[in-house]
Amino acid sequence: MDVILLGPPGVGKGTQGVLLADAMSWQRVVTGDLLRAAKDAGTPLGQQAQQYMSIGELVPDQLIIEMVKEKLAALPAGTGVLFDGFPRTEAQASAFSMMLKAMGRKIDYVIVLEASDEVLTERISGRRSCPSCGSVYNTVLAPPQREGVCDKDGTPLFHRADDTVATVQNRLNVYSTETEPLIAYYEGSRATVHHIKGDQGVDEVQGEVCQALGV
> Applying CB under 6 A, which of residues 138, 157, 209, 212 lies at the interface with ligand AP5?
138
One-letter amino acid of 206: Q
State the sign of the Cα–Cα–Cα–Cα dihedral 146, 16, 89, 173. Answer: negative
Residues forming beta bridges with residue 29, ordered by sequence position: 83
Is 134 among the residues that bind ligand AP5 (CB under 6 A)? no
Strands (E), the chain: 2-6, 27-30, 81-84, 109-114, 127-129, 136-138, 192-197
Distance of CA 62 to the CA centre of its chain: 18
Shortest separation between residue 32's beta carbon and ligand AP5, angstroms:
2
Shortest separation between residue 39's beta carbon and ligand AP5, angstroms:
10
The candidate with the shortest Cα–Cα distance to 54, out of 166, 131, 138, 152, is 166
Residue 101 burial class via C-beta count within 10 angstroms: exposed 0-12, middle 13-18, buried 19 and up: exposed
Count the helix, strand and coil residues of the chain and give each as a percent rounded to the nearest 5.
Answer: 45, 15, 35
Is 36 among the catalytic positions? Answer: no
Is 35 among the residues that bind ligand AP5 (CB under 6 A)? yes
Is 171 among the catalytic positions? Answer: yes
> Applying CB under 6 A, which of residues 82, 93, 112, 136 lies at the interface with ligand AP5?
136
> Applying CB under 6 A, which of residues 20, 96, 109, 127 lies at the interface with ligand AP5?
127
Shortest separation between residue 105's beta carbon and ligand AP5, angstroms:
18
Q: Is 137 helix (H, G, I), strand (E, B) or coil?
A: strand
Single out the catalytic residue among 71, 105, 152, 160.
Answer: 160
Q: Give the binding range for ligand AP5 (CB under 6 A) out of 69-77, 97-105, 134-142, 185-193.
A: 134-142
How far is 64 from 168, CA to CA, in rounded Å? 21
Is 201 among the residues that bind ligand AP5 (CB under 6 A)? yes
Is 127 among the catalytic positions? Answer: yes
- Residue positions annotated with a catalytic role: 13, 88, 127, 160, 171
Task: Tell me which residues touch ligand AP5 (CB under 6 A).
Answer: 7, 9-15, 31-32, 35, 52-53, 56-59, 64, 85-86, 88, 92, 123-124, 126-127, 136-138, 141-142, 162, 171, 201-202, 205
